[in-house]
Amino acid sequence: SSELIKWKTILGRHSRLEDEIFLPALQARLKDGESLPEELVDGKDHDSVDKLVDKVLACSDGDTVLALRELSAEFNNHLEREETIIMPLLMKHFTKAEIYAMDYCVVNPKLDYVDKERKINVIEWWFGNLADSEVVALKKHFERAGKKPPLPIGDWKKLQDDIPALQKYPLEDLMPQ
């Protein structure tokens, strides 16, 4: 139960980042004829997973397995939608540098996504729960991201203009120091 609560917290931060950073940026760049499914845009996709986590946490022992299966199925459907709809559109409309910049919002200490303590909890959870192959892939991702040249200030400004959640911050607060 405590592991599921940790996972729910991590998932909540992840969902918030998608809803506030990635989806608005993507919507701003979509061309005529391109759109995102409404459940991804209005947050219902994340809400349904969150409600199923609550259902599992509230279950009596006899109902837990069934509720976990329901959660697993919905979460896998959610991931499938992200991988087949969101990721291809992100790769089409953003440079890798822009995607890394949006990823940086997660760990940017001036934003309100993951504070230092939660960052440690997330990293510990990842490395304690991911398969070895996933850990290796994540480590490589972090290494590549760390070696990328910084996004030019004009590109940061363009992202900020497309993402309402970032517009309240001075541009300098968004950029890695």
* Mean predicted lDDT score pLDDT of the chain: 87
Nearest CA to 160 out of 85, 105, 120 is that of 105
Q: Which pLDDT score is estimated for 142?
A: 74
Give the pLDDT confidence of 4-47 residue by residue, as tens digits. Answer: 888 888 888 888 989 999 999 999 999 988 888 888 888 888 89
pLDDT at 122 exceeding the cut of 80: no
94: DSSP letter: S
Task: Say what the pLDDT of residue 113 is.
Answer: 81
Confidence band, pLDDT 50/70/90 cuts, at residue 58? very high
Instruction: Give 156's pLDDT tier (boundaries 50, 70, 90).
Output: very high
DSSP readout, 56-76? HHH--HHHHHHHHHHHHHHHH
Q: pTM of whole model > 0.85? A: no
Q: How confident is the model at residue 107 (pLDDT cuts 50, 70, 90)?
A: confident
Please check the confidence at residue 166 and state whether its pLDDT lies above 90: yes
Q: For a pLDDT cut of 70, what percent of the chain falls above it?
A: 100
User: Is 175:107 a contact under the CB 8 Å cutoff?
Assistant: no
Hey, is 43 helix, strand or coil?
A: coil
The length of the chain in residues reads 177
